[in-house]
């Protein structure tokens, strides 16, 4: 082959599968071998479904041989954050409370991938219940950053970000309540798309916050996220938050470029933020200049204070998380990791007045963001504010806060995608965020694809010093 199998995107691998140049079994065996060699260094997988994966691959190969084509994920290995229910495969939420939990039914997302003939490699590490981490007092170790395993991969979709960056999978599913897709994407140098609220069903995904939770993909290329969205998007009448709207054509703007687009840049948000690095600011400014050279108009804009979005989102998230976990927090508190328990317990102190005011403020903040998007086609802003934090900086007695500016678009529900902008002097990824109008993922993906093509940052992979894995 012209390059290692793990470097072929979903689109590239799919074309080769349909030509008969490669088989799904070969892709899957290569992935399993790579996981065996590399995952001990980064702990991205909790459960490896080797037999299931080989069986899925054999079925896909047989279907291709019969001329049966179920869609772009057919025969493609993937993995799921371990909060997605999988029939017959344990779903632990990285927690002692569910360490032996084996669901009887698939989540909607898992079922959609299965129906299209995708190959399930396994379940990926997360922060406990998508909130508490990175922790060493849980049944499984925390995932590590492939660019430097001494550093965290952010969270809570930590295993998803690490596995994609390491080339173990082309695409992995994550969830995002306050940045849990975009944070790992930013720290690990991948694409991470939080779709519009309600565009992807969350049924069968263990909830953290009913009104803030989003499901979305992390991938190595923008096009691969578009392919994943093509499979998983759609109305689900059994998900109360699902939106009954037409599913967009996620590919329609991938080659359209950015010429003539107006992009808003809320620069004051991140240049004055606590924890922001000079390298992050310079990388975003350079990205804005790149987009301008490609034909976009960049306009500095003002949004409400970032702290308002954070306060609003946290009040809602902690109150809803506590409501979900109240019984177990009261009867099994010692079965939670310390970070999870401390974070969840904050919800017990949120009053009805607090929650009412947060819900009112949420509407005002959404109106302010969408007012800017009436004159701008999209916004570009920070995703992560600095390179990945080392594990040594995490206080084992105090839940860490990560410099990630993602919560605003959980509050508003707008689609938002993290995309790499380069690397720090220490060799760790830097990133920015592209934010669009509700249900306008095609524009977000199109801007990302244009920037990706102009920079070719996806050509650089973490190096593990393992000759067979390269």
Report, as residue numbers or ranges, the catalytic residues.
81, 156, 180
Dist CA 149 CA 392 (whole Å): 11
Question: Could you tell me which of 449, 407, 469 has the C-alpha nearest to residue 227?
Answer: 449
Residue-by-residue DSSP string for 382-406: -SBSSSPPBGGGS-TTS-----B--
Question: What is the number of alpha carbons within 13 Å of residue 62 lying toward its C-beta?
Answer: 6
Q: According to DSSP H, which parts of 66-144 are helical?
A: 108-115
Contacts of 252 (CB under 8 A, 6+ apart): 442, 446
By DSSP bridging, strand 262-265 and strand 378-381 are parallel
Query: Distance between CA 449 and CA 435 in Å, rounded?
Result: 14
Question: Based on the number of CB atoms within 10 Å of its own CB, is 172 exposed (0-12), middle (13-18) or buried (19 or more)?
Answer: buried
Between CA 280 and CA 302 the distance in angstroms is 19
Integer Cα distance of 219 and 208 in angstroms: 23
Structure tokens at 170: 């082309």
- Which of 421, 154, 388, 182 is closest to 281 using CA atoms? 421
Query: What is the three-class DSSP state of 81?
Result: strand
Q: How far apart (Å, rounded) are the C-alpha atoms in residues 134 and 337?
A: 10
Burial class (CB in 10 A: 0-12, 13-18, 19+), 465: exposed
Which of 9, 97, 83 lies closest to 46 in space, CA to CA? 83
Q: Name the nearest CA neighbour of 151 among 424, 460, 457, 458.
A: 424
CB 335 within 8 A of CB 328: yes
Q: How far is CA 276 from CA 46, 281, 382, 410, 449, in A?
A: 32, 8, 9, 21, 26
Q: Which residues lie across from 120 on neighbouring strands?
A: 78
335, two tokens: 């079965």
Tell me the C-alpha distance between 461 and 470, whole Å: 9
CA distance 181 to 45: 16
């Amino acid at each position: 082959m012209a390059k290692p199998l793990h470097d072929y995107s979903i689109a590239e691998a799919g074309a080769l599968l349909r030509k008969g140049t490669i088989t799904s079994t070969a892709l899957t065996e290569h992935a399993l071998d790579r996981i065996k060699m590399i995952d001990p260094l980064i702990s991205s997988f909790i459960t490896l479904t080797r037999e299931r994966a080989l069986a899925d691959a054999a079925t896909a190969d047989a279907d291709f041989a019969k001329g049966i084509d179920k869609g772009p994920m057919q025969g493609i290995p993937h993995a799921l954050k371990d909060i997605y229910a999988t029939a017959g495969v344990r779903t632990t939420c990285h927690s002692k409370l569910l360490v032996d939990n084996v669901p009887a039914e698939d989540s909607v997302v898992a079922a959609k991938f299965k129906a299209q003939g995708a190959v399930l490699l396994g379940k990926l590490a997360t922060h406990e219940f998508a909130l508490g981490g990175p922790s060493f007092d849980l049944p499984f170790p925390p995932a590590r950053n492939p660019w430097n395993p001494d550093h965290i991969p952010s969270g809570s979709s930590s295993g998803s970000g690490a596995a994609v960056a390491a080339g173990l999978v082309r695409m992995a599913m994550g969830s995002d309540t306050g940045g849990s897709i975009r944070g790992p994407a930013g720290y690990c140098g991948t694409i991470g798309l939080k779709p519009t609220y309600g565009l992807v069903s969350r049924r069968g995904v263990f909830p953290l916050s009913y009104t803030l939770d989003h499901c979305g993909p992390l991938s190595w290329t923008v096009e691969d996220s578009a392919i994943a969205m093509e499979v998983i998007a759609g109305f689900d009448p059994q998900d109360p938050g699902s939106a009954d709207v037409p599913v967009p054509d996620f590919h329609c703007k991938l080659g359209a470029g950015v010429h003539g687009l107006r992009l808003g840049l809320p620069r004051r948000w991140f240049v004055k933020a606590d924890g922001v690095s000079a390298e992050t600011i310079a990388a975003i400014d350079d990205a804005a200049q790149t987009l301008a050279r490609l034909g976009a108009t960049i306009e500095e804009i003002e949004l409400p204070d970032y702290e308002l979005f954070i306060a609003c989102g946290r009040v809602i998230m902690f109150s809803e998380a506590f409501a979900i976990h109240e019984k177990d927090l009261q009867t099994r508190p010692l079965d939670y990791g310390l970070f999870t328990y401390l974070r969840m317990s904050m919800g017990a102190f949120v009053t009805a007045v607090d929650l009412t005011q947060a819900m009112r403020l949420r509407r005002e903040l959404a109106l302010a963001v969408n007012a800017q998007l009436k004159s701008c086609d999209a916004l570009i802003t920070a995703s992560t504010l600095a390179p990945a934090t080392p594990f040594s900086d995490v206080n084992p007695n105090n839940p860490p806060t990560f410099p990630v500016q993602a919560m605003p678009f959980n509050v508003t529900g707008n689609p938002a995608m993290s995309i790499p902008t380069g690397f720090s002097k220490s060799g760790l990824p830097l990133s920015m965020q592209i934010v669009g109008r509700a249900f306008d993922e095609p524009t977000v993906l199109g801007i990302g694809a244009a920037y990706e093509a102009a920079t070719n940052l996806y050509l650089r992979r973490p190096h593990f010093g393992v000759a067979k894995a390269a």
